[in-house]
Structure 1
């Protein structure tokens, strides 16, 4: 073990300082933005993984990644470096970094008024360890007992991670415990530390290596409270993201790692999939029959996703980019019928070839797989048997994969592809990947495979129809995956327990650079959901960015979650899905805002409001800044109780004329046919009034619903529409409505002006909530 200390004087650099350390390391501090500082501990000879695919200030990285210490794309504000009182001090605007040379210890401070406040500080006496025998690096920071910790992506349990220890490691965790299991599917080494007064600072470790994050589980008698990380890598690169609030940090994380892609509107409608339908011996008939019944029963649905059963052979195993001709005897007729019914389609694809795959010998000969030290394919256990992972950092593999997407997925009739089973559970420490021409240890860059797989699928889809925005999905991946597609909380378990705790996992992902998220409706694995639980699952997902009913329950006689699986609640399920389409214009408008600014679509209440009650982690979430959703997650309950945040004008019960004061506790009805929703006074929500049965995601008429408090007020909101599929919005060829709502004692006025070309604007109407006896007028474009 080596505790790092300075071995010589600091050198001033254009953006900070360099300081030589023992064991051949160098500290490099660089101020990159007025809100962003990079702290790097660089080993002699450089990092073993010398590039990053996470950091993308220019919107994306080259395929081969960018140098981990690059300053390209950053503003690079002016900095000063001085030595004083045995400290090296780097200052830039309202941020400064203090460096104690021996032993090495850093503090990051923010200017508040005429003084400096420490927002992050390394542990005293021993902050940076190099554990050479173990091959790991350890970083310790002091931790105030009142601090709260958020982030880390799809982690389980309470939103505040304080007192727990987690692993950043992608793993296929089907049927996980949504309160306790760890690790899960994503690699998100990002934490936000919030002080007792609500000020916060973000910390992103730029590594693809396996990592443990301890946020106060460990305690030592010899130190004040601390947190620390263990990285299976020699050295460290960390980015400190300034606040002062969580709501400042999350958009800045998106600016640092690349803003989310705006998907086509149809992808935000309700979608259905199950492995069982595509696994059926008469899959074409089963899937067509399901699609026809949805239309006949007026179940609003936009897309059907196909499980991997279309690729099975006689042995029942799955062989990506192949087709089972017996299950699908007439693919042309199959896709024509789905298109006639108005459905979009998406196909499951997997990045591993079983050894029996017909393309395996040729792929092995061409070197398309992750390789062992002797050059042979790195064979590991996969779903269905032994197989080798395609190396998506190899240009030849990328070309092979994209050809498969073009010909066997899109070319057969699917609109999109779903990147599944891509956790890259590679354990051979000697295996390597191509690294786009510069080989890398496979075990050190496992998350990269999911990222590049999704990128390859995204770009192949875009190349087929360049004028349309692609849609794709990935189950695994690091921060940065949202540049190409959406994700979800994986193969959840059917239970009331999951329903409650999935809420936290989802909004945690929203705070961690993965905003287009959802949960498998009804639970993927486990028992059949009862009528009440099933209805509550549908209601919960009605107002999330992703709403997909997905299940696999082979042990059951009736193994599929279906909209009509419980006839006694089918009407409730139908109405919950109709609620989704009613709110879809708002969801889509928020998606555009997320794409533009990085602001989350769904978030915990504490993201928007400083109220102490919001920190108590209620069973609730915000849809944008104006809509509070309090789903019923308690079996047998017919009411919910929520502490409403303090806002001017109060909160409107969406289902009644009641207005509740902000800062009060409200108990409202939550019968089986109702999702409790509250709307902030001053909000203007675009709500669909009418849509075609075969394309419910395309609203024909939209009400601009204004929610008015009792007093005088002025509020402003922006609403976005476009054609739902093209890139034209980037040039202003869209409808961007500026809504100003002015309320006085005797009158109310809503003024709406068009700031874009008007493309995609539906027929508009105005609806006033809380008007009372006041006179109302409006002006529409």
Structure 2
């Protein structure tokens, strides 16, 4: 075992410093005032800089060339001050302290608060098997969030978590570990200092986090990270808020790719249809038509891999089964005419009997065996297979060639990447790694990222102005730059319904804002009616909303599977479509700031100790608290409303003070939702198809008792023209007071189809006395029918306790003033 115990010397470069110890060497980068990189190697030299995961670097990276997602910044100079027993280097926000003996790093903020501290005499370790360890001191009041796609409750303290991509069909969402994603990043929230920090380990070998599960009486309480190989390459991120940490982490690994607008619609799916012997295409088209008949909005269909089945019953990627899909191009065209996009399932493993196997082999496109000569083979769906090597330019180009010919040339720009965990058992199998060569054990979780990147590039090359929609099951840090993700093949159970929520929330805190789970459950018998309804009511708040199943009882999960319960399913999905402008604005926020869409309460209310352990209630954006019914037979739902604001029941309009637990009666149709004071929520009433419907009237639900602002984002939803300024941001500002001011500022050149604005202004105490638009009085209507027939004006809804304000959307920046003064009718 090798342990760094003593600092021997320091060498300062132009933008980094090297530290030499008795066991390892370290390279320090002060990337920004709030991000510090500490690179540790137990070899004589550091490896070459070559990262597929990082989107931002303060050094030259061999893999950055030609990647439009990469940003090169200038780091800060690293100058250490020798203070005897320790060295210090500082930014405006942080102070890095190097203890000479015993060797250890400590990081403090400008206030002197200790944010991170290595365990002295045990900070950086390499064991006799070559595994690398980093031990960090743990405070009694530390909470740990993130770690990517992990089961169980939100706070991972006292857990041991394995990082490896695995196909975990039918997993237990409370206990199974690992799952499909490998994201070695976490956020630490200290309840005493009320400060958050982040730690990202830039290492794609299989690894383990021990978050205080292990204890020893000889050492201070600790956590550790252990990787099977590579280097200990860690990035420390300052807060002090959780939101700051997430923003900095996504600065480092990339923001969420801006999705197509239609991806927010209901995406139908089931394995059942594509397994029909013949005319599966008609089953899919019939599903879309049935949605219309049932009044259920639908905007796409995820096509399961049965469409690729060959004559021998095995699945062959890029192969269309002509019995099931006689004319793929006509099928895709018909689906598009019906207002639905097609997302075909593709897999990177190619069976040895695949018709294209030899073409890929001849191109050298597969991951190779231990000698680097023959394709490595391993078990896969249907038998032995070889796996496309996306670190090989030849593999990427051949893959893109077939993506184009099989799908993109037919009009498909939505790609569903599945079964891409690369569970190759031979850890000595070789990847091309851009010609440098590297073992699969070092690159396994990166390959699904590169698979998604290849799909993005293929669409850009074939249809450059079309925005791609890519969905991935597996992935590594940075997967959000390329794809939406989902939590794989979940089990059909009440437990999955409940515990998939913190799985998704943890992913959001790990930079992956656009994700979800299979609604209704993927693996198991058909969900019982109550469970199915509750799952749909929960699923409508997930960025990816798809009912998808592989039922084990010869059934298919469909929205109308229980006719007596279909109205509840329909109502929930229609609520989802009302919220599309809000969702789209939140996804733009994710693309710019890295913010999650579904947010744990601690993300918005970190100073309220009552939410530090909350795993199941969540915020949709900053304005809506969702407390879904997650237990069978429930008649009431207890909900804790966080401190610092008021809360308004979405349905009844009843107001509650924050900082209390309330009890809400529920029935089978209940979706408990609460509006935060100061909220601005854009809505689209009557939207049924995102592809074809034009939203000419935008509704804004505004709670004005607290000053706030929100940016409503819109663009054409399908092209890349938003990158060139063809978007519209409408920043709605709320200035609270007896004369409440609503301001509307514009940015961008998009010619919005919105012609009318309807503001539902929630009134906490009294009705307005007067409302002005750009200084001119809007007429007051006492009869709602007159207001509805008018072009502009306002009406006070006594039942909702809200002022309904309507007007033609001004094309320039404007304001609305609402006077809440009391009119004295007696003295008149």
Is the TM-score greater than 0.5? yes
> CA-to-partner distance for each residue in 1:380-431, whole Å, 9 max, x for gaps?
1111111011111111110110011111122234331111100111221321
SS of equivalent residue, structure 2 residue 113: strand
Contact 1:406 1:461 in 2 (8 A): yes
Residue 539 of structure 1 pairs with residue 537 of structure 2: yes
SS of equivalent residue, structure 2 residue 366: coil
Q: 1:491 to 1:633 in 2, by over 3 A?
A: same
Residue 679 of structure 2: aligned partner: 683
Contact 1:586 1:687 in 2 (8 A): yes
Of 748-757 and 623-632, deviating more is: 748-757
Query: CA–CA distance in 1 between the matches of 2:553 and 2:350?
Result: 29
Residue 774 of structure 1: aligned partner: 768
Q: 1:60 to 1:399 in 2, by over 3 A?
A: farther
Query: CA–CA distance in 2 between the matches of 1:63 and 1:50?
Result: 6
Residue 28 of structure 1 pairs with residue 31 of structure 2: no
Question: Of residues 190, 210, 227 in structure 1, which corresponds to 2:185?
Answer: 190
Residue 731 of structure 1: aligned partner: 724
> CA-to-partner distance for each residue in 1:700-724, whole Å, 9 max, x for gaps?
4220111244xxx433222111111
Residue 148 of structure 1: aligned partner: 143
Q: CA deviation at 1:50?
A: 4.9
Question: Of residues 507, 510, 515 in structure 2, which corresponds to 1:509?
Answer: 507
Residue 133 of structure 2: aligned partner: 138
Where does 1:76-155 land on structure 2 (aligned, <5 Å)? 76-112=75-111, 116-131=112-127, 133-155=128-150
Count of residues in correspondence between the two structures: 766
Query: CA–CA distance in 2 between the matches of 1:776 and 1:655?
Result: 26
Q: CA deviation at 1:194?
A: 1.2
> CA-to-partner distance for each residue in 1:219-260, whole Å, 9 max, x for gaps?
112111111111111431000000112111001111111111
Question: Of residues 622, 626, 634 in structure 1, which corresponds to 2:623?
Answer: 626
SS of equivalent residue, structure 2 residue 358: helix
Contact 1:422 1:450 in 2 (8 A): yes
> What residue ranges of structure 1 are gaps of 5+ in the alignment?
none
Residue 385 of structure 1 pairs with residue 383 of structure 2: yes
Q: CA deviation at 1:62?
A: 8.0
Q: CA deviation at 1:321?
A: 0.7
Q: 1:128 to 1:694 in 2, by over 3 A?
A: closer
Residue 717 of structure 1: aligned partner: 710
Residue 312 of structure 1 pairs with residue 309 of structure 2: yes
Contact 1:347 1:416 in 2 (8 A): yes
Query: CA–CA distance in 2 between the matches of 1:404 and 1:64?
Result: 25
Contact 2:711 2:731 in 1 (8 A): yes
Structure number with greater Rg is 2
Q: 1:79 to 1:2 in 2, by over 3 A?
A: closer
Question: Of residues 150, 155, 168 in structure 2, which corresponds to 1:160?
Answer: 155
Query: CA–CA distance in 2 between the matches of 1:152 and 1:725?
Result: 32
Residue 202 of structure 1 pairs with residue 198 of structure 2: yes
Question: Of residues 243, 247, 251 in structure 2, which corresponds to 1:247?
Answer: 243
SS of equivalent residue, structure 1 residue 8: strand
Question: Of residues 758, 763, 772 in structure 2, which corresponds to 1:765?
Answer: 758
Contact 1:295 1:694 in 2 (8 A): no
Residue 662 of structure 2: aligned partner: 666
Residue 557 of structure 1: aligned partner: 554
Residue 596 of structure 1: aligned partner: 592
Residue 354 of structure 1: aligned partner: 351
Q: CA deviation at 1:44?
A: 3.0
Residue 755 of structure 1 pairs with residue 771 of structure 2: no
Q: 1:740 to 1:20 in 2, by over 3 A?
A: closer
Of 656-665 and 726-735, deviating more is: 726-735
Q: CA deviation at 1:602?
A: 1.2
Of 459-468 and 205-214, deviating more is: 459-468
Query: CA–CA distance in 2 between the matches of 1:34 and 1:640?
Result: 45
Per the normalisation by structure 1, the TM-score is: 0.95
Contact 2:298 2:688 in 1 (8 A): no
Query: CA–CA distance in 1 between the matches of 2:647 and 2:62?
Result: 47
Residue 216 of structure 2: aligned partner: 220
Contact 2:85 2:101 in 1 (8 A): no
Contact 1:200 1:242 in 2 (8 A): yes
Query: CA–CA distance in 1 between the matches of 2:526 and 2:64?
Result: 44
Query: CA–CA distance in 2 between the matches of 1:59 and 1:486?
Result: 28
Q: 1:697 to 1:585 in 2, by over 3 A?
A: farther
Q: CA deviation at 1:82?
A: 1.4
Contact 2:452 2:482 in 1 (8 A): yes
Query: CA–CA distance in 2 between the matches of 1:396 and 1:59?
Result: 29
Query: CA–CA distance in 2 between the matches of 1:452 and 1:360?
Result: 20
Per the normalisation by structure 2, the TM-score is: 0.89
Residue 338 of structure 1: aligned partner: 335
Question: Of residues 459, 464, 468 in structure 2, which corresponds to 1:466?
Answer: 464
